[in-house]
Amino acid sequence: MDVIKRNGSREAFDFAKIERLNEFATQGLNVDLGLLRSQIKLLVYDGMHTHEIFQAQNKAAAGLISTENPDFTFVAARYLLAETMKHVTPDGRYPALAETIARGVAAGRYAPRMAEAFDLEALAAAIKPERDYQFDYYGLQNLVDRYLMRDREQKLIELPQHFFMRVAMGVSLQEDNPTARAVEFYDLLSSFDYMASTPTLFNSGTVHSQLSSCYLNTVNDQISADIDEGEHRYASIFGTIEESARLSKYAGGIGTDWTRVRAAGSHIQSTNGKSSGVIPYLKIYNDTAVGVNQGGRRKGSFAPYLEVWHPDFWDYCEVKKEFGDDRLRAHDIFPAAWIADLFMERVENNGIWSEFQPERFPELHELYGDAFKARYEQLEREGKAYKQRPALEVWKRILTNLFETGHPWITFKDECNRRSPQDHVGVVHSSNLCTEITLNTSDTETAVCNLGSVNLARHVKGGQLDADKLARTVKTALRMLDNVIDLNFYPSDRAKASNLRHRPVGLGLMGETEAKVACGIDFASAAGVAFSDRAMELISFHAIQASSELAQERGAYETFPGSKWSRGLLPIDTARRHETSLGEAAWAGLRAQVQRNGMRNSNVMAIAPTATISIITGTTPCIEPIFEIERSEKNMSGQFKVVDPCVKYGRPDLLKTVWEIDPGWILQSAAARQKWIDQSQSVNIFVKQGTKGRELAEIYLSAWKLGLKTTYYLRGQTKTKEVAKPALANAALPAGDVAEAELPTNFCSIDNPNCEACQ
């Protein structure tokens, strides 16, 4: 048998070379080498190209991945690593970091400062190539296909450890000792203890440093701004759409507050005409998301928010429907409901819900809690309502469309505002694309959040959380996130103004379910809830402490005076429950430190979905339970299986999927975490086949009562894409007076599971 080499020449097939690679790929792993050899022999043939041999070995190992043989994922990853090295350096040696940096700068991909600001020899000495062996197959494939830098001819420039060092260098550029900080940051990233968000991984150290994940803006009720009168150019309908296009161009996910736009039929004084309302503009907003496709990677990701008292909310609930008047549809955006407590109370009490015209009563948008309730009820008494209908009808409308289309997401205005550290500078008008960010917006400020996630599974030692290691990780991670603010490219001036003024960051977590299994804890148990509580308390404490220490070193953020922080109020102080495992003395000391030093960041915590970065690090996504023990994926080499990382702990009794867990446990764990978080968390709701409408209603009522700020996708047990028939006509009544209508089995699944807008 012959093989064809890369230069086109032929030589005899050397099975010894295959065997050497087999031994390298299987060293230290629990796999059957004989089985692997037999599978490879079935795939080799006379006249193969040498690169096809890599693919044959890769395919053979990937085809053997299963719950019974999970280590074959690491075998396949090592074959892929060997092939990747051949693409980067054909002679097979591990290239020097200086060589990689020079290639990146010459290709116009790395910022020139990357070759000038560091001691490259010291950084090269800090690189740990053996950490490449941590990758499982799916994680490394994602990294190679989507993250490793390429030149203009799409040839790979960097290997995985160079990638981590490039990211670390990029976020160290303004440090006093950038080399030392880059080593510290590299060690955190390459160990998988923490991972930055996708925009930071894509763009750190490059000529275009757009490192932020999420943006939130607001729409003013006018076609265009009057710049001559001092209005900001984006403070209008088309101005905000233009800004959203710019933000989307540079890969940002966007949440937009639309409540101030007047409703359909409202009077327009300047023309003596009638407004067309929110929906027609949402179609333009939708088409902008599709048209500005983020450099060809994917269409933009826009999430509009509308308050429930807005007269257009009734039609807004149906903008994602697949049928009906297409002039009232916007299929590519992700609408969310911004819900006041008063509405939920009236749902519970079978009360009347009133709609008000936002241009007549703009104060409703700027009030929350008791103040909102007082003004709202005053306007009702004065007969100022535009329209009224039973609150239950609106609630059914929301839930019916939620299970048919996955939208509108249900988010809670009052809890977001009551617990906002920044209550002194304005009102939170919306969340973001993934519902974990709760920041202020205005006509002059577009909120920005910079994200990263602690890998909780990497902080377990001896079946317990390693609190000391977690403290070190959080401190370093906060410094990295704070650096992003100053290094970041801002697509709009009001985004830059907001971020530099308030400096919010969102430190989250991933691998929580894997960490629970590693500790022998059942997700669906009181111990599981307690674990979430304890883990988030530790992250909260150390994140706040780290930001306060940064404030002492670098100065507090501009609007710290008057904030809850400055008043001695930490997130736990505004929570509904106040139990602590660290003890009151520790928290009292932290309060005193914050009031003494200030805070570097207005907000420090938010739990984002982490879909892609948890794949890279081979752990369970964010706070999610196990979705599937084993699933199929496909690439150019064929079909292979992805096995949940919790399998490796040998605890089948703890491998419960979301369909075996009552949603109440997910909500209770979320509520335990929310005690400690100054922003929010992306909380998916999972319901199994046969769930009834009344049960769905109770799930969301429970989320509200438990103090969750936001919820995210509703996911059902099947993946059918057919449109469901409305079956909730009487299914959302209060407990004790409910119909037995069943939810269809074909809930929408997540529209874009590979979305990188947050992480």
| Catalytic residue set | 432, 434, 436
Tokens read off for 140: 């490394």
Identify the three-state secondary structure at position 81: helix
Contact criterion met (CB below 8 Å) for 90 and 6? yes
- Which residues have a Cβ under 8 Å from the Cβ of 551 and sit 6 or more positions away? 557, 560, 597, 598, 599, 600
Tokens representing residue 683 in the block: 């909380």
CA dist list (Å): 597 to 568, 593, 688: 12, 6, 49
Positive/negative CA dihedral, 234, 240, 241, 242: positive
Residue 632 exposure: Cα atoms within 13 Å on the Cβ side: 4
Round to whole Å and give the CA distance between 560 and 442. 18
Q: Give the integer Cα–Cα distance in Å for 567 and 664.
A: 34
Closest to 544 measured CA to CA, from 609, 465, 468, 597: 597
Max Cα–Cα distance, the chain, nearest Å: 93
- For residue 668, list its beta bridge partners: none
Going by the DSSP 8-state scheme, the letter that residue 145 receives in this structure is I
DSSP 146: I
Strand pairing partners for 214?
A: 253, 449
Question: Could you tell me if residue 205 is left (phi over 0), alpha (psi between -120 and 50 degrees) or otherwise beta?
Answer: left
Q: Which two structure tokens, joined as six digits, stand for 759?
A: 């992480």
Contacts 24+ apart (CB under 8 A), 318-322: 318/401, 319/279, 319/282, 319/407, 320/401, 320/405, 320/406, 320/407, 321/401, 321/404, 321/405, 321/723, 322/405, 322/723
Q: Are 603 and 439 in contact (CB under 8 A)?
A: yes
**Cα 628–632–633 angle (5° rounding)?**
120
Q: Report strand pairing: 447-455 vs 214-218.
A: antiparallel
DSSP conformational letter for 574? G
Identity of the amino acid at 719: K
Burial code (b: 16+ CB inside 10 Å, e: under 16) for 514-540 equals bbbbbbebbbbeeebbebbbbbbbbbb
